[in-house]
Chain A
Amino acid sequence: MAASWKRLLFHILLLLVSCRHINTKTPGPTPPPLVPISSLPTDERSVSLKGESHTENVELLNPVNLALQCTWTGNQNKLPNITGFWRKDGDEVENSRVTVQLEGDEYELKRVFSIVSEESLGSYSCVFGSEAKIEFVLAAPQIGEVRDKPIVSYVGDSVVIACKMEETKPKPGSWNWYKANGTDKEQIFVVAEPLRYEIKNEERKTKLVVHNLTEADGGLYYCGAVYAISTTMGHVELKVISFQEPLKPFIAIVIEVIVLVAAILLYEKSQSKKNYTEGNGATDQMNTMTQGENNGPEGSSSTRQRKI
């Protein structure tokens, strides 16, 4: 008992020296590495849970030592001791199981994680007993506006595919473009094919221009926003079709129009023939009388040639 108290004192001293708040009550013989040796910056996130579960999104740009603190107000029972442990992406973190004591009506779990690369990102959860869970989703800034419908372009034409990082999110260091090749992604290098590809980068926007499209150019394209910690991907689908595709409906509509116009004019011709044979004299008189007035101030009938 005295030994563990001494150990704790030692930890507290180190805590004061390195300005970190770490609290473990590991009963095991080897204490976990509380003070990381590397020179990464530090950051802290804490969540207080009142219900059963909660998810917190954490946006990270650079490698960091992240201290995650979970506080739980407990349930009806308010047991004096419960087991708490950490999970990463569903798997329990080694040596993270501890007994949490009820202090001031709350249970608390805290741990520091080294987030250095893409593998370190993911979902970290602290679990109290078998009920309460707080999930921290660690990720680089995600590309918000993802275009869900494909861009349609034509063989021989060029197309501009764009990706944008929202104003509210931090700027990426640079942008990369990838083309999907089966399940893989192949990066597009402009130098390799300068005539076909063009990449125009601005701080928050990137544009990939593909010239001289062929049907093989269709498929998924990925834009990667590069941050120190990882690259986040957005995707856009490109569809390349030949000009025959819209031509078919166009010709169908043109045929429909021609048919309708012909039908209307033929109907009119047949009607006028009927009128002509019926009211011959009267209509002639009608027509000469009415020549003067329709459509225009001019009275001469030379302009009255009403050709259809």
Chain B
Amino acid sequence: MAATKRGHAPPDGGWGWAVVFGAFISIGFSYAFPKSLTIYFKEIQEYFTVSYSEIAWLSSVMLASMYAGGPVSSILVNRYGSRPVVMVGGLMVSAGMVLASFGRTIMHLYLCVGVIGGLGLALNLQPALTIIGTYFQVKRPMANGIAMAGSPVILFTLAPLNQFLFDSFGWRGSFLILGGIVLNCCVAGALMRPVNNNTRPKPKTEPPERNGAAAEEAAAASDTGEQDESESQGCLHKFIDVSLFKHRGFLIYLIGNVVMFFGFFAPVVFMAAYAKHQGIDEYSAAFLLSIFALVDMFMRPATGFIGNSKWVRPRIQYFFSFAVSFNGVCHLLCPLLPGYVGLVVYAVIFGLAFGMVCALLFEVLMDLVGAKRFSSAVGLVTIIECGPVLLGPPLSGALVDIFGEYKYMYYACGVFMLVPGIFFFIMHYFNYKKLDEEKRQNVPVDMRTCEEAVQLKMSQDSNTAHDTDG
């Protein structure tokens, strides 16, 4: 492995893989848990005598809390590190579910499952993503791909498990037991050992002249390219890094993502309904979702692997742009595919596209802003994405209701993904050009991004003394 410019080497292996497994569990629960609870909705709806939309609110509240809790999570991770935050998060979700199992009103459920549960999941998601960045550098896309695969895998496991629990214990008992199951996030948190505890110093990374404050500065500065902490300003910086809003790459990512998320989840939500609308029976329609989930599951680590290859890694932003555009094209073509076979083909292709985007979603953010600022970045991104994520499916549903058929919804989703994809391509072309220019001009490191550092690292294999900051 090439020498790094940090004071310590991100292990890129060893305990890192245990951390990836922990992140796999945390991320898996964060995304899959709200989706898997929908099995209980019908009975809860009967029990509390509420309408379907009131019960659907439960999912929305949970998702909203999860996204809105992003900045809170970032602040806590910045202060305390990943491990305690994940463990507290796990305890929170567990407590929320256990309290909910004693619920007497629907408000009680909204509070316990929705607010407390959602917040706990937010405290799981961010730290899991962040810690991967601290453990991996060279193999980071691979690690991200594997960790993000947690979502479909856990969903796959939770769906039949939830059905079994429901048949055996009804919704109350199931909530209680789910409170126990989700406590395993604390186990995942225990695995997230802070990275400087046990890493042995690698001899190459300790040239004697690097001691002291100069070394600290150089090490931090030559780190994945974010701002040197001696340059950090304001006390808000203690909590969350809002100077990110001046970061070019971050802004590109943010704008593109906000538009993209309007059309991202709706096709998944409506897949079974669309199939039934075409006249396909319930089991075959459900099978489509299974095909989609299975393809998604394998595509994520595969994408991580591709993203890690030496051709793609330096220009990974293009890969992400391609993935987003691919999604868009896939949705635009979907209504044209006839019959059940057409739908199966669509499910497979959509699974590929969805897996690609998910695997790269946070990897490219890490690539743009660097591991150090990542935790703040992801917090800001999630709270801003909260809007489109929550509004997307209902808006798509409204489109279906207005026009009476699904193809307009697919066209809309396709456009909402294709336009950001093209936007990403164009903007990143300029961004890369600018970065290359800056590198050549030896501009201060605060504008540099990670991929450039990786490029340098990969091209200067044996060069231990690193001189980009002069």
Is there a chain A Cβ closer than 8 Å to B105's Cβ? no
Check A261–B196 contact: CB distance below 8 A: no
Contact with A250, one of B77, B180, B232, B375 (Cβ below 8 angstroms): B180
A-B contacts counted at CB < 8 A amount to: 158
Q: With A160-B46, A289-B7 given, is the CB distance from A275 to B177 under 8 Å?
A: no
Q: Can you list 13 contacts pairing A with B, beta carbon distance less than 8 Å?
A: A162-B46, A245-B169, A246-B176, A250-B176, A250-B179, A264-B190, A286-B196, A286-B201, A291-B196, A293-B219, A293-B220, A295-B134, A299-B230
Q: In chain B, residues 414-435, which have Cβ atoms closer than 8 Å to a Cβ of chain A?
A: none
Check B46–A297 contact: CB distance below 8 A: no
The interface residues of chain A lying within 8 Å CB-to-CB of B173 are 152, 154, 241, 243, 245-246
Is there a chain B Cβ closer than 8 Å to A13's Cβ? no
Of the listed stretches A108-116, A132-140, A170-178, A277-285, name the one at the interface; the rest are far from the partner chain: A277-285
Contact with B190, one of A251, A265, A290 (Cβ below 8 angstroms): A265
Interface pairs A-B: 4 shortest CB-CB: A246-B173, A152-B170, A253-B180, A296-B78
Q: With A245-B169, A282-B201 given, is the CB distance from A297 to B229 under 8 Å?
A: yes
Is there a chain A Cβ closer than 8 Å to B53's Cβ? no
The interface residues of chain B lying within 8 Å CB-to-CB of A157 are 172
Contact with B191, one of A241, A264, A272 (Cβ below 8 angstroms): A264
* Smallest beta-carbon distance A29→chain B, Å: 58
The interface residues of chain B lying within 8 Å CB-to-CB of A152 are 167-170, 173
List 6 additional A-B contacts (Cβ < 8 Å) besides A160-B47, A241-B173, A296-B375. A261-B190, A264-B190, A292-B216, A293-B7, A297-B241, A299-B230
- The CA of A116 and the CA of B37, in the complex, are separated in Å by 49
Check B170–A151 contact: CB distance below 8 A: yes
Check B186–A246 contact: CB distance below 8 A: no
Q: Which residues of A contact B (CB under 8 A)?
A: 149, 151-154, 157, 159-160, 162, 207, 241, 243, 245-247, 249-254, 257, 260-261, 264-265, 268, 271-272, 275, 279, 282-283, 285-287, 289-299, 303, 306-308
Contact with A241, one of B169, B176, B223 (Cβ below 8 angstroms): B169
Is there a chain A Cβ closer than 8 Å to B181's Cβ? yes
- The CA of A279 and the CA of B202, in the complex, are separated in Å by 12
The interface residues of chain A lying within 8 Å CB-to-CB of B106 are none
Q: In chain B, residues 87-112, which have Cβ atoms closer than 8 Å to a Cβ of chain A?
A: 87
Check B230–A297 contact: CB distance below 8 A: no
The interface residues of chain B lying within 8 Å CB-to-CB of A298 are 78, 229, 232, 237-238
The interface residues of chain A lying within 8 Å CB-to-CB of B229 are 292-293, 297-299
* Smallest beta-carbon distance A149→chain B, Å: 5
Q: With A286-B196, A296-B79 given, is the CB distance from A247 to B84 under 8 Å?
A: no
The interface residues of chain A lying within 8 Å CB-to-CB of B77 are 295-296
- The CA of A286 and the CA of B200, in the complex, are separated in Å by 9
* Smallest beta-carbon distance B206→chain A, Å: 8
Q: Which residues of B contact A (CB under 8 A)?
A: 6-8, 43, 46-47, 49, 77-84, 87, 130, 134, 167-170, 172-174, 176-177, 179-181, 183-184, 186-187, 190-191, 193-201, 206, 210-211, 215-216, 219-220, 223, 227, 229-230, 232, 237-238, 241, 372-373, 375-376
- The CA of A308 and the CA of B130, in the complex, are separated in Å by 17
The interface residues of chain A lying within 8 Å CB-to-CB of B200 are 275, 279, 283
Q: With A254-B183, A261-B187 given, is the CB distance from A272 to B227 under 8 Å?
A: no
Check B176–A279 contact: CB distance below 8 A: no
The interface residues of chain B lying within 8 Å CB-to-CB of A151 are 43, 170
* Smallest beta-carbon distance B16→chain A, Å: 14
* Smallest beta-carbon distance A164→chain B, Å: 11
- The CA of A250 and the CA of B177, in the complex, are separated in Å by 5
The interface residues of chain A lying within 8 Å CB-to-CB of B184 are 253, 257, 260
* Smallest beta-carbon distance A299→chain B, Å: 4
Check B237–A297 contact: CB distance below 8 A: yes
- The CA of A271 and the CA of B77, in the complex, are separated in Å by 24
The interface residues of chain B lying within 8 Å CB-to-CB of A251 are 180
Check B177–A253 contact: CB distance below 8 A: yes
The interface residues of chain B lying within 8 Å CB-to-CB of A154 are 170, 172-173
- The CA of A122 and the CA of B131, in the complex, are separated in Å by 70
The interface residues of chain B lying within 8 Å CB-to-CB of A246 are 169, 172-174, 176-177
Check B78–A295 contact: CB distance below 8 A: yes
Check A272–B230 contact: CB distance below 8 A: no
- The CA of A202 and the CA of B329, in the complex, are separated in Å by 47
Check B8–A303 contact: CB distance below 8 A: no
The interface residues of chain B lying within 8 Å CB-to-CB of A303 are 79-80
Check B168–A290 contact: CB distance below 8 A: no
CB closest residue in chain A, given B134 = A294
The interface residues of chain A lying within 8 Å CB-to-CB of B375 are 295-296
Q: With A289-B219, A297-B227, A297-B232 given, is the CB distance from A272 to B183 under 8 Å?
A: no
CB closest residue in chain A, given B229 = A299
* Smallest beta-carbon distance B36→chain A, Å: 16
The interface residues of chain A lying within 8 Å CB-to-CB of B223 are 293
- The CA of A297 and the CA of B215, in the complex, are separated in Å by 16
